[in-house]
Amino acid sequence: MQKCIKLAQKSAGRVSPNPLVGAVIFDDDLRIISQGRHEYYGGNHAERNAILTATEDLKGKSIIVNLEPCSHYGKTPPCADLIIERGIKRVISGMVDPNPKVSGRGHELLRQAGIEVIEGVLEEECLELNKFFVKNQTKNLPYIAVKTAVTLDGRIATKTHQSKWITDEASRAQVQKLRNAYDAILTGSGTIKYDNPSLTCRMKGGRNPVRVVLDTNLSTDENSKVYADDGAKVIIITGENVSKSRIKQYASHIKIEKCRIRDGIIDIEEAVKILYETGIRSIMTECGGLLNKSIIEAKLADELIQFVAPKILGDESAKGFAEGFHRSEIKECNKLKIVSTKVLKNDIIIKSRFDYTGNK
């Protein structure tokens, strides 16, 4: 199963809105016969690739896959049917498919054909691998990670908005991998004005995510780096009363979506729904504290990814990664569960999952 997961991870950023899946076929002596992965959206599923590339008879063999084999027709025929057809005797899966079209039906179809089915192998790891897909299928919303680069005292920039560079080169290389994995990078107009980022993926072999800017009044410079026409999709979400003449000042490759305004700013809940409707299934934020706060306050954030540098800014006027909550008691804090920690060259990556249970 670990091999399946590693195979699946190679397709990060290439299969959305589909899940990441790897498959390995082996015999009773644990000799690997064939393997495959879902390589790109619209391509063969992992099981089909593993089966079709096998060079020997698969009758009586076993297949292990990190996600329940599909039992319905989509862009490709059902994998469960092909498994049955080739006489495979045992299917080992990591998790049930959360897609209502499948969700247990693939396993049941296999059992009805006399195939032994073993479920739940490394289930937690398999759920983590496809956390985007699980959120999409169960909530009809994109998975959202709040990504920050902070000092030890939680600051992302000085009071004059200087932020380069809080973290080191090793951390920035990891950020490129994250940009490759997420469908979209979300930022706000303030970040565009002060930092003028490109938000591209500079990882070798990577692909640029969709760049999304929340800009209530369309006040950002239309020549900002983020709006470059480099083949990547660019979306601006702006207020519903912005004039047509202002919109026309932006290049034609930029898609501009109007959104409801609440308390003087973009309604973040509606904005996220708009992005989901455009096909975006996972979002990573690279923005200021006020936008991060809005996402967390609306209970839309699933994960917090912090790149923590061993530095102290020590200025209460400096910018925090989440600002504006105005809380007076510890019990009002947002609760998270640490998922993992990793020491890089000099910084630490802390990944935590939001727990909204009991939060108002």
What's the pLDDT at 360? 45
Please tell us whether the domain made up of 141-355 is placed in CATH 3.40.430.10: yes
Q: From CA 284, how far away is CA 135, in angstroms rounded?
A: 14
Q: From CA 308, how far away is CA 140, in angstroms rounded?
A: 32
How many other CB atoms are there within 10 angstroms of residue 97's CB atom? 25
Residue 20 CB partners (closer than 8 Å, separation 6+): 8, 9, 11, 12, 37, 38, 66, 129, 130, 133
What's the pLDDT at 52? 95
Q: From CA 163, how far away is CA 169, in angstroms rounded?
A: 14
Catalytic residues: 47
pLDDT in 10s for each residue of the chain, 360 residues: 999 999 999 999 999 999 999 999 999 999 999 999 999 999 999 999 999 999 999 999 999 999 999 887 767 788 999 999 999 999 999 999 998 878 899 999 999 999 999 999 999 999 999 999 999 999 999 999 999 999 998 888 787 777 778 899 999 999 999 999 999 999 999 999 988 999 999 988 889 999 999 999 999 999 999 999 999 999 999 999 999 999 999 999 999 999 999 989 999 999 999 999 999 999 999 998 899 999 999 999 999 999 999 999 888 877 888 888 888 888 888 899 999 999 998 999 999 999 887 654
What's the pLDDT at 236? 97
CATH tag for 2-130 (out of 3.40.140.10, 1.10.3720.10, 3.40.640.10, 3.40.50.360) = 3.40.140.10
Cα 263 to the center of its chain, rounded Å: 29
Q: From CA 188, how far away is CA 133, in angstroms rounded?
A: 26
Q: Is the pTM of this model over 0.85?
A: yes
What's the pLDDT at 298? 93
User: Residue 59: what residue type?
Assistant: K
Residue 354's φ and ψ, nearest 5 degrees, are: -70, 140
CA-to-CA dists, residue 17 to 48, 80, 130, angstroms: 18, 20, 11
What's the pLDDT at 358? 60
- Which residues partner with 36 through β-bridges? 23
CA-to-CA dists, residue 280 to 13, 50, 76, 170, 301, angstroms: 12, 29, 22, 28, 15
Q: Does residue 64 sit in helix, strand or coil?
A: strand
Is the CB of residue 286 less than 8 Å from the CB of residue 324? Answer: no
Give the E-state strand segments of 151-290 in sequence order.
Answer: 155-157, 184-188, 210-214, 234-239, 254-259, 261-262, 265-266, 282-285
2-130 and 141-355, same CATH topology: no
Q: Does residue 214 sit in helix, strand or coil?
A: strand
Exposure string for 260-279, b = 16+ CB within 10 A, e = fewer: ebeeebbbbbbbbbbbbeee
Q: Which two tokens stand for residue 159?
A: 């009071």
What's the pLDDT at 350? 96
Q: End-to-end CA distance of the chain: give it in Å, rounded.
A: 39
Q: From CA 169, how far away is CA 347, in angstroms rounded?
A: 10
**For the chain, domain boundaries:** 2-130, 141-355
Q: From CA 40, how far away is CA 55, in angstroms rounded?
A: 23
